[in-house]
Amino acid sequence: MINNELEIVKFSSLLHDIGKFYQRADNVRSGSKMYDSKYDKLTADDYGQNGAHGKWSADFVRGSYGDEIEDLVLHHHLPSKSINPKLCGIVQKADHHSSAERIASDEKQEVLDTPLISIFSRIALNNSETDEYYIPLEKLDLNDSLYPKETTNQAMDGWNLKPDYERLWNEFINEFKLIDAENFDTVLALLKKYTSTIPSATYLSESDVSLYDHAKTTAALATCRYLFDRDSENKLTKNDDQECYLVVTGDISGIQKFIYRISSPQDAQSGMSKRLRGRSLYITLLAESIVGHLINKLNLNSSNILFCGGGRFTIIAPNTSKTIDVIEEFKEKINLFFIENFNSELYLSLVYEEASGVDKDKEKLDLKNFGKILQELNSKHFEDKKHKFSQNLEDVFKIEDVSYDDLCVVCGKGISGYKDDDKKICAECAAHEELGQAVANSRYMVKYENDGEIEGSNFFIDLLNIGYIFKKSKKDVIKLVNKYPEISFTVYILNSTDFTYLIDEVTSDNVSFDFKFLGNNVPNIKGQPLYFEHLAKISKGANKLGVLKMDVDNLGKIFSNGFNHLNKDNNFSSISRVSSLSFYLDLFFSGLINEILDEFKVFIAPCDDCADKFDEIELEFERDEDTIIKKSVYRPKDGAEICDKCIENAVSTIYVNYSGGDDLLVVGPYDDIIKFSESFQSKFKKWTANNDSINISAGINISGAKFPIGKAAILADNNLEKSKECGRNKITLFNEILSWKSNGLQKGFYDLLDFAEELESYAESKKVSKSIVYSLLKIWESRSNVKSIEVNNEKDWHNNVNEKISKKAYVPLLKYKLRLISDRTLRNELDKKTMKFMPWIKVPVSWVSLRLR
């Protein structure tokens, strides 16, 4: 049983509301109850107003955690009745400060008829209107079932949610029995799996925060409150405006330069795909290791990590002098590490802000207006980055007299002794390449904390004492963790939420289990990776690669101002709500992207019935310097329906360089990349409740297979910036900056792509000659007389669009050219359609030119 006070507070706060899940699964309406009879006679005088669920919470924990935790969860609404009112008061206040987001309902809600409101429904910028969408009650998984629905009925299988609660509760209990109930991280992972779609409160409030997010943030705040009271000179009071919390954010800058730094593109082409993936993953693991080491130093736990992704993180800690000393010392050490190992290319900005729980006088920052805290922290980051390495100036200017044998052909760093004598690649670049290879299609990620690196590590930093190892088989994972019983491990299953099957074979007590969504897809044929030249050859027509970069628009504004409309006092961007928003955004980019990737594939060895539905593509692989082997893949013809047997032999065509948080970078056949951008944007809008305030921008670069992929990624990023500069919610492709959807006479990407595929079909079937299609662009360019200017802001973009629409000088020549189409019906149809699309005709003509080359 748990006896340590901090552990008691952690588990009590994490599980204080588990009774809501249990109670909703119980047959309450029939009068029978599943909890122990000893709770039957308890009333509100024992458990407090609105605290009846505490009976179910207490019944759940009593068998696994003992009397003290049972007492705290039972009385967390009325601490005076607890045997330890001080600890119970800590849990109660943490609960209140976590749930400050709750919006009072005009009427009592029927609990079993009320699904979780999508957090994206709550976002509104610039006074835009939003509609409520609802999340189906399901365990967390990577499938379409989690997409929000427009009505409550669509989000429920039957008349109410009772059967869903019963089913989920039984599954949860069965898995809970398999885990170590005293392993906080494993319990938290199981709650994430089963309570991420459960409303935290429904009876007297409208809930858009899940039970998981509420439980997690309550545990984080209770931990902070306990440590504040233990370590601070100022002891806890019952006042909500006491500044006992410290919100800490970290931001690693220099990431783009680090990822794409290439000294000699041609010499460094070999292994570049693995190297770029490895560098991106290195930043991810670096940020996770930094935040993991920091919470260990502060005696916190994983619930205190509110967000970590894309080189940024947010944690909540106790506001003590000890915390601040640790942060300042840690920042100096990390940046010294960056100076010594990255030549000051990377920099960690680490800032913090004091906060109270709720400040009714609005004189202090409080957790109820977490968005305001984030605004203040962003301002501090801006100022901090103006004075990079100010704590390490002597180290920055320290010049070491070191002689080098040569320069790394990849990054340009001096090297003494090669990792590879032929390629002249430094140890760091070789390590990034090995990391990129290790993660490709791995099923498990094993994190460990140890004073030294262990055998087989793919990532380890001595300063942080944290390492990572990627494995493809369960057998290898079990062998690894059982080999080192003295080391603390966390085993993550990747892109699946089923992790309990691993537990029985683990003999060590120092192992936590969790799951993680990771865009780690690398196209391969039975373990043989497809390289960029293969992906280019898989394209239809021209052998070209597409590089796509996408990024959520106005994310800072969404977090800081997106919830302001919910209350005139601008105080509904609570800590739970911001945490929930981060969680659901990352779930899409890290997890659900894998479902979208499945739409783009080639096939191996089609069956006889489907043989005529494919085009065969022969690919060459180098077995060694003297041997080339050939393998065939089969690309389905447009519109072909493939049988289930063939689908089992599918190979993805899109390579994920990185995807997580709020952005992505993917590479693949140019045509699949263009179609992927369409599918991703469409599903992103569906995921975000079709909210006009939440949008995404994109940039695509198309180039040959031998063009340096690092440079191609930079060009895609430049195109993304054009989309952002010109008003956001756009895609830049073929040097055209386009809205996703059409708006009146202004045509968008979706309609242009449809027209492009229509033209391609006519040209391929010879209903329209290719020369006529190609002439459309020549007619526009020769007759439109649109001024050629660099469009780099929204006003110029709109002016450019209006100017294009106003031009009609091309019309006579266009009609003359279309007369060459013999089919009158088709000619008349194209006459009407082509006129609409002529100002952007470069997009459909470029598509046809590439596909029919």
Task: Quick: pLDDT tens for 91-126.
Answer: 999 999 998 755 554 445 578 888 999 999 999 998
pLDDT for residue 265 is more than 80: no
pLDDT of residue 519: 84
The dihedral over CA atoms of 8, 10, 11, 16, expressed in degrees to the nearest 10, equals: 110
pLDDT of residue 687: 97
**Confidence class of residue 70 from pLDDT cuts 50, 70 and 90?**
very high
pLDDT for residue 45 is more than 80: yes
pLDDT for residue 22 is more than 50: yes
Question: What is the pLDDT averaged over residues 62-74?
Answer: 94
pLDDT for residue 31 is more than 80: no
Higher pLDDT, 329 or 661: 329
Helix, strand, coil in percent for the chain, rounding step 5: 45, 15, 35
Residue 710's φ and ψ, nearest 5 degrees, are -65, -40
Q: Rounded distance, CA 307 to CA 293, Å?
A: 15
Higher pLDDT, 753 or 273: 753
The total number of residues shown for the chain amounts to: 853
Residue 746's φ and ψ, nearest 5 degrees, are -80, 120
pLDDT for 185-204, tens place per residue? Answer: 999 999 999 999 999 976 55
pLDDT for 351-409, tens place per residue? Answer: 999 999 987 777 788 898 898 999 999 999 999 999 888 777 666 666 455 667 788 88
Q: Rounded distance, CA 117 to CA 359, Å?
A: 27
Q: Rounded distance, CA 759 to CA 436, Å?
A: 40
Least confident range from 159-173, 278-292, 727-741: namely 159-173
Question: What is the pLDDT averaged over residues 220-243?
Answer: 92
Contact present, 564 and 573 (Cβ < 8 Å): yes
pLDDT of residue 268: 58
DSSP string, 534-564: HHHHHSSSS-EEEEEEEEETTHHHHHHHTTG
pLDDT for residue 614 is more than 80: yes
Classified by CATH at the fold level, domain 240-399+409-439 comes out as Alpha-Beta Plaits (3.30.70)
pLDDT for residue 720 is more than 70: yes
State the residue for tokens 């190892």. Answer: 469
Least confident range from 430-444, 555-569, 625-639, 658-672: namely 555-569
pLDDT of residue 395: 66
pLDDT for residue 706 is more than 50: yes
Least confident range from 46-50, 417-421, 820-824: namely 417-421
Q: What is the mean pLDDT of the chain?
A: 90
pLDDT of residue 615: 94
Q: Rounded distance, CA 588 to CA 517, Å?
A: 9
Domain boundaries, the chain: 5-231, 240-399+409-439, 741-852
pLDDT of residue 105: 47
pLDDT for residue 607 is more than 50: yes
- Which of 225, 220, 251 is closest to 238 using CA atoms? 225
Q: In the chain, what percentage of residues exceed pLDDT 90? A: 69
Least confident range from 63-67, 161-165, 526-530: namely 526-530
Burial 533-542 (b: 16+ CB within 10 A, else e): bbbbbbbbbb
